[in-house]
A and B are shown apart, each in its own frame.
Chain A
């Protein structure tokens, strides 16, 4: 639009900044992947190797053949799966209630949903530790998933609310006029239209549970029950006391990051909209 009106110098200036910014933001991610292909002996050189020539997959093999990685992967997968299923099911029901019904207490419920997600997790984790220990659920999938679900569900409800509200109830009503029961109308008309919303919120719950660090740190003190973030942290702790095999750490980080990056691309826009709400009109 106003691109044409700019002087060549101004255009070159903007382009230069864009290139520098691109490099600055992509470089750490590139560096993770690059280092993951290089052998430890190369990474220990004083001069960094900027391209993965002569690289191999041996760091990945080392990370994957390490039993502790697979164990952590299992823990992370189990916790994430349980959180995701419970969270989506319960949040969906609640979102339906607040966007399809006007009932007494609705406003208070919406307010609670919004306030609760503002409570800093860090301010709760001592109490959560005490409670989960009291239930005998320390070092278990169920214990961590319970806290994750409680933490993630408010925003999931808020996100799904937007989706349900976007499907006009008139569609259902029309189907009911045509002779479907209310349940049939819902299952055949509204539910299929909601699928993208359920996928987006599911990915959101996935990302939260998969990446979470602080709660897992408190509730999974037993090293053999570590999730992937805790397992990765072990390498950082090692690096403080002895020389680290950074190639293997970067391979491990890459393995943890790749599924997240793929899923994240799906929900980014939706998450932004949920966070900043009507301030951005799509």
Chain B
């Protein structure tokens, strides 16, 4: 399933060793490549670059409501940063976001790998139905799956409360999952896990199919048990894929915004239901303090870019090889 109907296997091209290092390079000097990249650069500079710089500069300014009505925004040095970093509320949000991210990404990875193992160990028909189910989930637009899950968790008519109430002695009808912050985040986590697992499972499964039958048979002849096989032979082979996927999950789950915002729309809002994304959004739109919002954004950006660096380096290596 990992090879779509439309694509030629572009990256699967074997390196040709006898060729010089840059076989496809045009030898003569030309300005053409620069003309080719200029349009993309212009769009990115305007749409991303300028806001980035504005954000950075504003994080050193006092930029509240008065400034939005035309008052000059004075530079205040590191005042926003010291205010932010000494605010226990902010640290509570950071801590919550990091824990939420680790738990959600961790559980997603475990389930994703487990389901990749399931795909590997069942017959073709079962594997295909499972893969189709996962593709359906993965293909859902974010707002669409959030409305469905809100409906599933609905306090009165939701299927989840109905099914739980079938257990003898349990009556969940009318239970609102979105009021208690712990269960609010548990619901958010379940939804994000449901959405993330397909990508992990497909990537891990693609990794598993790389393990050649010969290797497996050789290990079996040497008397390896199933567990030894998984740990010593299969895991090392799929480790590169899994580490990249895990990194992406961490990056995505740390900056989760839409799911939290939409759950707040459906049920509860208030600072105890915030993670970093919604916290920044409220700082900017609600309390209109752009200076502090910019500072918080820069902090989040530093956190994510730190995480991303490993990933980017990996992809750069791949670019050099092609």
Residue contact A126 to B280, C-beta cutoff 8 Å: yes
Residue contact A25 to B194, C-beta cutoff 8 Å: yes
- B contact face: mostly helix, strand, loop, or mixed: helix
Cβ of A85 within 8 Å of any chain B Cβ, yes or no, is no
Mark A36-76 against chain B: 1 for CB-CB distance below 8 A, else 0: 00000001111110000000000000000000000000000
Instruction: Write the nearest CB–CB distance from A57 to chain B, whole angstroms.
Output: 19
Q: Which of A26, A112, A275 contacts B137 (CB 8 A)?
A: A26
Residue contact A268 to B143, C-beta cutoff 8 Å: no
Residue contact B157 to A282, C-beta cutoff 8 Å: no
Residues in B neighbouring A214, C-beta threshold 8 A: 257-258, 261, 277, 281
Cβ of B91 within 8 Å of any chain A Cβ, yes or no, is no
Cβ of A19 within 8 Å of any chain B Cβ, yes or no, is yes
Instruction: Write the nearest CB–CB distance from B117 to chain A, whole angstroms.
Output: 8
Residues in B neighbouring A97, C-beta threshold 8 A: 32-34, 36-37
Residue contact B22 to A102, C-beta cutoff 8 Å: yes
Residue contact A18 to B127, C-beta cutoff 8 Å: yes
Cβ of A141 within 8 Å of any chain B Cβ, yes or no, is no
Residue contact B266 to A149, C-beta cutoff 8 Å: no
Nearest-neighbor residue (CB-CB) of B279 within chain A: A122
Residue contact A100 to B143, C-beta cutoff 8 Å: no
Residue contact B206 to A272, C-beta cutoff 8 Å: yes
Instruction: Write the nearest CB–CB distance from B151 to chain A, whole angstroms.
Output: 5
The B1-52 residues at the A interface (CB cut-off 8 A) are: 1-13, 22-26, 30, 32-34, 36-37, 39-41, 43-44, 46-48, 50-52
Residue contact B148 to A32, C-beta cutoff 8 Å: yes
Residues in A neighbouring B132, C-beta threshold 8 A: 26
Residues in B neighbouring A228, C-beta threshold 8 A: 143
Report the separation of the CA atoms of residues A231 and B37 in the bound assembly, to the nearest whole angstrom.
36
Number of A-B residue pairs, CB cutoff 8 Å, is 386
Residue contact A272 to B2, C-beta cutoff 8 Å: yes
Residues in A neighbouring B207, C-beta threshold 8 A: 279-280
Q: Which of A100, A119, A260, A276 contacts B139 (CB 8 A)?
A: A260
Cβ of A9 within 8 Å of any chain B Cβ, yes or no, is no
Q: Which of A121, A129, A150, A280 contacts B46 (CB 8 A)?
A: A150
Report the separation of the CA atoms of residues A236 and B259 in the bound assembly, to the nearest whole angstrom.
12
Interface residues of A toward B: which range? 35 or more
Residue contact B267 to A260, C-beta cutoff 8 Å: no
State whether A101 and B202 are in contact (beta carbons under 8 Å apart), knowing that A28-B137, A150-B46, A233-B265 are contacts in the complex: no
B interface residues, tally (CB under 8 Å):
127
Report the separation of the CA atoms of residues A3 and B315 in the bound assembly, to the nearest whole angstrom.
36
State whether A257 and B141 are in contact (beta carbons under 8 Å apart), knowing that A126-B290, A273-B2 are contacts in the complex: yes
Report the separation of the CA atoms of residues A184 and B169 in the bound assembly, to the nearest whole angstrom.
76
Residue contact A123 to B298, C-beta cutoff 8 Å: yes
Cβ of A106 within 8 Å of any chain B Cβ, yes or no, is yes
State whether A90 and B32 are in contact (beta carbons under 8 Å apart), knowing that A257-B140, A260-B141, A279-B241 are contacts in the complex: no
Residue contact B316 to A110, C-beta cutoff 8 Å: yes
Question: Can you list 12 pairs linking A and B with CB atoms under 8 Å apart?
Answer: A22-B126, A26-B137, A31-B152, A101-B26, A118-B311, A120-B304, A127-B297, A130-B54, A233-B262, A260-B139, A272-B206, A273-B7
Other CB < 8 Å A-B pairs besides A18-B118, A120-B277, A239-B150, 16 of them?
A: A118-B305, A118-B308, A121-B255, A122-B277, A126-B294, A126-B297, A128-B51, A147-B47, A149-B43, A162-B322, A233-B262, A236-B150, A249-B151, A275-B244, A276-B244, A282-B2
Closest 10 CB pairs of A and B: A150-B47, A166-B10, A127-B51, A264-B139, A118-B308, A269-B4, A26-B133, A97-B36, A126-B284, A123-B297
Where the two chains meet, the residues of B that have a C-beta atom closer than 8 Å to any C-beta of A are: 1-13, 22-26, 30, 32-34, 36-37, 39-41, 43-44, 46-48, 50-52, 54-55, 58, 114-115, 118-119, 121-123, 126-127, 129-130, 132-152, 154, 156-157, 159, 162, 173, 194, 197-199, 202-203, 206-207, 210, 213, 216, 240-241, 244-245, 248, 251, 254-255, 257-258, 261-262, 265-267, 276-277, 280-281, 284-285, 290, 293-294, 297-298, 300-301, 304-305, 308, 311-312, 314-316, 318-319, 321-322
